[in-house]
Amino acid sequence: MSRQANHWGCALALAFTLIAPLAGHAATVLNFDDLSDGALPAQYGGLDWSQSFLSFSDPMLFPAHSGDRLLATDWSATNDTSTIRFNQAATFQGAWFSGYEDAAVSFALFYQGQQVGSSALLQPGSTPAFLASGYAGLVDEVRVHSAAHGGFGMDDFTFTAAVPEPGTYALMLAGLGAVAFFARRRQA
């Protein structure tokens, strides 16, 4: 094998090793269509939802972005009680909202007990609109703030787990094995 081909092989293996941890990080989108009316099950979607969130379907009042079901907070909810806790750190992309215009919503984002970010303010309407988190770092808690809890519906809650999936580790090990293989061949 030529010296140039060997360098290309090492470079390819190294690139594979560096890219492998990025594989398998698909976003999770919770659309709530598998739920019945009422409170969410404990740990729904791998998240810890406060007791303020309820699943419902009322396309005339609050149309869903996808499917026919969404979440709302009850009218007695507060900004502090409308909390969603992640079981592992994640990046949170945002969610879709519809509802009353006076029920303006925003997100407060927390990591290890400290607020790390907040979203823009969205005034929901009869057509679902996406509210981006506005923060690309890790979070472990999201609070939904609103001027009128109970006056909005939330759909397609989107996040990406920060911890690689088992398949990602397998790809990374395969890449490291390829680097070791090429390094041994180079020494021989």
| Residue 150 shares a structural domain with residue 186 | no
Q: Residue 12: its pLDDT value, please? A: 46
| Residue 157 shares a structural domain with residue 172 | no
| Residue 55 shares a structural domain with residue 93 | yes
| Residue 105 shares a structural domain with residue 84 | yes
* Residue pLDDT, tens place only, 143-177: 999 999 999 999 999 999 986 545 555 565 666 56
Mean pLDDT (the chain, rounded) = 84
| Residue 126 shares a structural domain with residue 177 | no
DSSP string, 2-19: -HHHHHHHHHHHHHHHHH
The 10 Å Cβ neighbour count of residue 118 is 15
Q: Residue 51: its pLDDT value, please? A: 85
Q: What is the DSSP letter of 40?
A: P
Q: Residue 20: its pLDDT value, please? A: 45
Q: Residue 166: its pLDDT value, please? A: 56
Band of the pLDDT at 18, cuts 50, 70, 90?
very low
> Given CA atoms 100, 106, 110, 113 in this order, what sign does their dihedral have?
negative
Q: Residue 14: its pLDDT value, please? A: 47
Q: Which domain holds residue 140?
A: 26-163
Instruction: Say if CB 103 and CB 147 are below 8 A apart.
Output: yes
Q: Tell me, what CATH number does 156's domain have?
A: 2.60.120.260
| Residue 100 shares a structural domain with residue 134 | yes
pTM of the model: 0.75
* Residue among 140, 83, 82 nearest 112 (CA): 140
- Number of domains into which the chain is organized: 2
* Residue pLDDT, tens place only, 61-72: 899 999 999 999
| Residue 40 shares a structural domain with residue 67 | yes
